[in-house]
Amino acid sequence: MRDHDLLSALHKTPNLTQIELGKTLGLDKTTLMSQLDRLEHAEPIHRQSDPRDRRTGIPQITAATHSDEFERFGRASIALALFSFPE
């Protein structure tokens, strides 16, 4: 369920820093980083540096996740990808 919450937060409020995202979701840094690492490995997100502070990451939903194909098939594909990776 956390993956869905995290992806939903990124979709609704793009350009949150990792710190802002953690506060929004009520996740500690360790838990958030673990979630982001797994999602980045499964490829529904990628992280980029914040232009204001390059030490800070901004998780972004990938273009493929935003595509029309995602709307039709993506949720099931992401769920399968996430469940195929050990936590």
CB 7 within 8 A of CB 39: yes
Percentage of the chain surpassing pLDDT 70?
Answer: 71
What pLDDT, on the 0 to 100 scale, is given for residue 69? Answer: 47
Predicted confidence (pLDDT) per residue in 52-86, tens digit:
888 889 999 887 666 644 555 455 555 555 555 55
What pLDDT, on the 0 to 100 scale, is given for residue 3? Answer: 80
Looking at the structure, give the CATH architecture of the domain made up of residues 2-83. Answer: Orthogonal Bundle (1.10)
Does the reported pTM lie above 0.75?
Answer: no
Average pLDDT, the chain: 79
Work out whether strand 53-61 and strand 45-50 pair parallel, antiparallel, or are unpaired: antiparallel
Q: What is the mean pLDDT of residues 33-61?
A: 90
